[in-house]
Amino acid sequence: MKALSLLVLISFIIAAAAECPFSHGNDGGNGGANAPPKYDNSPGYSPPANNDTTPSTPASGTPTASPGASPALAPAASPALTPELAPAPAPSLNKTNNGSLSPDYYANICPNLESLVQGAVRGMMASSPIAAAATLRLFFHDCFITGCDASLLIQNPNNDDEQHSSENMFLRADGYKTIAAAKAVVDADPQCANKVSCADIMALAARDAVALSGGPTWKVELGRYDALGARASDVDLPLTTEDVRALMKRFSAHGLTVDDLVALSGGHTLGATSCVFVNSRIYPTADAFLDPGFASQLQRICPSNLDPNTFVFFDQSVTSFDNNYFLMVQQKKGVLFSDSALYFDSSSKGIVDKFAADQNAFFTQFISSMVRLGRLGLKTAANGEIRATCTKPN
C-alpha cells in the first residue's frame, strides 16, 4: 500500500518534476527515438500529456511514471544538511545598460510587494505540485533569451513570440499561472497597481519557489523594466546534447562562469524529464557516460518505441530543493547528457564534487548565480516599460 501511495503521488507530481527550473533546449531531430526534437528539457520541462502547446491553457492529461522510475533514481545516502534560510548578501551590483537595481527599489512604491508575491506563490504551490519548478524554469528561460525583461510572457497575435518557439512551447502552464496570480495580487493593492514590472515579479517568484521548496532564500535586486516586445527568432537556449565546452560558450556570452553553469544546472533537483530526452542516450546502446546498471534501469523506464509521456526523475527528492542532483551526477547517473558532461570535464568536475559533499556550498553559489542571472539584459525607461498586462505591451 505504501508503494502504491508513492506511485500515486509520483503520477500527480511528475508533470512538474519535469518542470525543472533551468532547462536546456534540444537540437533538431527527425522525431525518431534516437533524435530528440529541439525542445528544451531543463529542470522544469514537461511536454503536456495532451500535446497542448498553448501556454495559457494547462494540459488536461497527467503523464504517468514508470513503476521503475523511483528506485532507478534513488540518490546515494548523505548526511542531512540544514540550509541557511537567512537572506544572503548579494554579490556586488554591476550596472548594466545604465540600469540600477536595488533590493529596496519598491520600499516607498509598494512596501508589501515581497509578501504579496510570496503569498501568491505559496498558494499556487499548495494547489499545484509543479508550480515551483515551472516558475523557476520560466525565470531562466526569460533571462537567457533577451535578458530578465518578462519578454517570455508576451503573446503576439501571430504567435511569433518566445512562448511559441520550439524551445519554449512546452513550458508548463503552472509557471505562467503563478506569475499571473502574483501580478493580480500586486495590482489589487492600490499602492502597487501598475507600478511593479512583470520582470521583477518573475524574479521574486523564482526566489520564493526555491525557498518554499526547502532551498535558500536571498535578497532579490529589483528595478527592472519590461520588454516592449518579443520574437520567436530571439530564442537560442542551451541544449541537453551539449558538452561543457559548448555550454560554456553560451554561458560565457552572457558573462556567466562555469560555477554558474554547474550551480544553475543544480536546479534540476526539482524535477524530471521526458524519455524524449533520454532515449538517444540508451538506444541502441547506452553511452559511456552512464553507469551500466543505471542505463539498464533507464531502458526499463523508457521504452525504445518512444513514449513522450513517460518521465524519469533527476533525483529522488522530486519537489525538494537540495543537492541530491549532484550525488546522482557523481555516480554516472546523470539523466541528461548535459548533466553527465559536468562530471567528465576537468573544469566542472571539482565543482560537482564540492556541491555533492556540501549542500550549503551549493546553496551559496546558487544564490550568487541567480543574482548574476537576474542582471542580464536590464531594460530602462528608455527601452522598456511597466506593462499593465504581462502578456502584451502597453
Which residues are documented as binding site? 142, 147, 149, 151, 162, 238, 268-269, 315, 322
One-character DSSP codes across 156-220: -TTS-SGGGSTTTTT--HHHHHHHHHHHHHHHHSTTTTTTS-HHHHHHHHHHHHHHTTT---BPP
Q: Which residue has the cell 515579479?
A: 201
- Name the residue among 131, 138, 133, 166 with its Cα closest to residue 53: 166
Q: Is 164 a catalytic residue?
A: no
Residues in contact with 258: Cβ distance below 8 Å, sequence separation at least 6, in sequence order: 244, 248, 251, 347, 348, 351
Bind-site residues for heme b: 268
Cβ-in-10-Å burial (0-12, 13-18, 19+) of 394 comes to exposed
DSSP conformation class of 392:
B
Catalytic residue among 24, 141, 164, 254: 141
Bind-site residues for Ca(2+): 142, 147, 149, 151, 162, 269, 315, 322
Question: Dihedrals φ, ψ of 2, to 5°?
Answer: -65, -40
One-character DSSP codes across 256-318: --HHHHHHHHGGGGG-EEEGGGTHHHHSSS--TTS-HHHHHHHHHHS-SS--TTEEEESSS-T
- Name the residue among 312, 252, 302, 307 with its Cα closest to residue 282: 302
Cβ-contact 309, 334 below 8 angstroms: no
Bind-site residues for substrate: 238
Instruction: Encode 335-347: b = buried (16+ Cβ within 10 Å), e = exposed.
Output: bbbbbbbbbbbee
One-character DSSP codes across 320-386: S-SSHHHHHHHTT--SSHHHHHTTSSHHHHHHHHHHHH-HHHHHHHHHHHHHHHTTTT---TTT-B-
E-assigned strand segments in 33-115: 64-65
Residues annotated catalytic, as ranges: 141
